[in-house]
């Protein structure tokens, strides 16, 4: 059955990836196909990395990764194969959606047919995995991945059922986003598998399938991308943990911990300042109590009780009373002396015990095996001084 072609709006051409700095700057101000696919997956680490990239302009350097380098080397070769076989020209330009300029895509291939007023795009991947999106695929002919089949596969993936590796890659969502941006109804997905035998892996013959536009999935992608854009807009540079060797998730929590620590110090100083101000206002008042809708305030001078022996009263004591006081005083003195002797005896016995334990340790030393035992981990966070 032929796919119906709908005439759609033309995307806005931006910067070529050959002008890398300008190309990266354009991508910084929108959501790309890869980022849209990550946004819909909802992994916090991916979302956080995107936000950091957009706000700071620090893009990850993937050079030196053998798989990335291999893909970069093979893509022009495969793109030439695509152009020869399917008449889709290679593309290096970053395009923006005609009505949503922050929706961006750089498809690997793009050809616009003036006669029918529609275009076609291609997406090229290299992998050690077989990226066939179907559970089986004819050896000849070009199959078409239609939305109803894709929904069954996505549902199986969500339910942790066995599906081809392709559905774990996010490539389907990348292509749907590209079709959304480019205003196309079809994308040719081309993959070249290699044998993963480094340093010179051997590639197989490229294979391809047509992927049809999936409006329902595009709606979900746009919703996820808009949520991501709102998060980027509401995030300030001061909200981000600084970059470094620390894992991003750990860096985020450390950053928030230090902010909380700073807030505690500020709060403590603020509390002390106003508490002292209240004490100054009420220092001449013995008792004060009042309340409003926010708090109740009580100011009272506590009573202290002190006791002492009055010499004049003591001089009037009877002989029997004085005798009783003297006996009690002697008893206190005697008890205090016994305490002192007991403390001295305890010190002596403690010393004897320590010496005995040491003699036992020495006697056992040549028969003792030392093992390390891990204790419960202890978290230490030390803030660095800033200039």
This prediction has a pTM of 0.66
pLDDT single digits (tens) 126-173: 999 999 998 776 666 689 999 999 998 888 887 767 788 999 899 999
DSSP bridge partners of 13: 95
Neighbours of 32 (CB within 10 A): 22
Mean pLDDT of 246-271: 76
Nearest to 54 by CA among 244, 242, 301, 228: 228
pLDDT single digits (tens) 45-98: 889 889 988 988 877 777 778 999 999 999 999 999 999 999 999 999 999 999
CA distance 171 to 164: 12
The pLDDT of residue 1 is 40
CA distance 345 to 341: 6
CA distance 175 to 214: 10
- Name the CATH code of domain 19-252 (choices 2.160.10.10, 3.40.50.1980, 3.30.870.10, 3.90.320.10): 3.90.320.10
CA distance 145 to 334: 100
Q: Quick check: 107 and 121 in contact, CB under 8 A? A: yes
The pLDDT of residue 141 is 67
Residue 368 has pLDDT above 80, yes or no: yes
The pLDDT of residue 121 is 96
pLDDT single digits (tens) 199-245: 899 999 999 999 999 999 999 999 999 999 999 999 887 777 766 66
Residue 36 has pLDDT above 90, yes or no: yes
Name the more confident of 373 and 347: 347
Side-chain half-sphere of 29: how many Cα atoms within 13 Å? Answer: 11
The pLDDT of residue 7 is 61
Extents of the domains making up the chain: 19-252
Confidence of residue 370 (pLDDT cuts 50, 70, 90): confident
Is residue 171 packed enough to be buried (19+ CB in 10 Å), middle (13-18) or exposed (0-12)? buried
Q: Which residue has the tokens 């709908």?
A: 6
Please state, rounded to an integer, the average pLDDT across all residues of the chain. 88
Buried b (16+ CB within 10 A) or exposed e, 340-362: eeeeeeeeeeeeeeeeeeeeeee
The pLDDT of residue 44 is 86
């Amino acid at each position: 059955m032929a796919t119906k072609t709908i005439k759609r709006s033309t995307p806005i051409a931006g910067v070529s990836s050959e002008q890398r700095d300008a190309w990266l700057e354009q991508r910084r101000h929108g959501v790309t196909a890869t980022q849209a696919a990550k946004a819909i997956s909802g992994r916090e680490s991916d979302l956080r990395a995107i936000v950091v990239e957009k706000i700071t302009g620090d893009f990850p350097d993937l050079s030196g990764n053998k798989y990335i380098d291999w893909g970069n080397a093979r893509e022009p070769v495969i793109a030439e194969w695509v152009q020869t076989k399917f008449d889709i020209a290679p593309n290096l330009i970053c395009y923006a959606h005609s009505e949503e300029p922050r929706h961006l895509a750089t498809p690997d291939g793009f050809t616009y047919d003036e006669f029918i007023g529609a275009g076609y795009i291609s997406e090229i991947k290299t992998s050690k995995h077989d990226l066939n999106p179907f559970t089986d695929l004819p050896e000849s002919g070009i199959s078409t991945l239609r939305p109803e089949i894709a929904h069954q596969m996505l549902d199986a993936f969500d339910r942790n059922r066995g599906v081809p590796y392709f559905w774990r890659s996010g490539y389907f969502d990348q292509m749907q986003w590209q079709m959304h941006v480019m205003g196309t109804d079809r994308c040719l997905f081309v993959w070249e598998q290699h044998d993963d035998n480094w340093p010179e892996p051997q590639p197989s013959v490229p294979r391809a399938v047509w992927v049809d536009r999936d409006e329902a999935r595009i709606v979900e992608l746009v919703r996820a991308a808009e949520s991501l854009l709102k998060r980027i807009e509401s995030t300030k540079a001061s909200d981000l943990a600084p970059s470094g060797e620390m894992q991003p998730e750990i860096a985020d929590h450390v950053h928030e911990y230090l902010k909380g620590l700073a807030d505690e110090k500020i709060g403590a100083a603020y509390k002390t300042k106003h508490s002292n101000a209240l004490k100054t206002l009420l220092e001449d008042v013995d008792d004060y109590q009042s309340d409003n809708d926010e708090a109740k305030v009580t100011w009272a001078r506590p009573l202290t009780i002190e006791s002492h022996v009055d010499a004049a009263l003591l001089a009037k004591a009877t002989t029997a009373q004085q005798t009783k006081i003297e006996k009690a005083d002697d008893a206190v003195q005697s008890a205090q002396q016994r305490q002192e002797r007991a403390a001295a005896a305890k010190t002596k016995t403690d010393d004897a015990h320590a010496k005995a334990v040491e003699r036992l340790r020495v006697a056992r030393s040549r028969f003792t095996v030392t093992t390390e035992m891990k204790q419960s981990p202890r978290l230490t966070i030390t803030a660095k001084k800033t200039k």
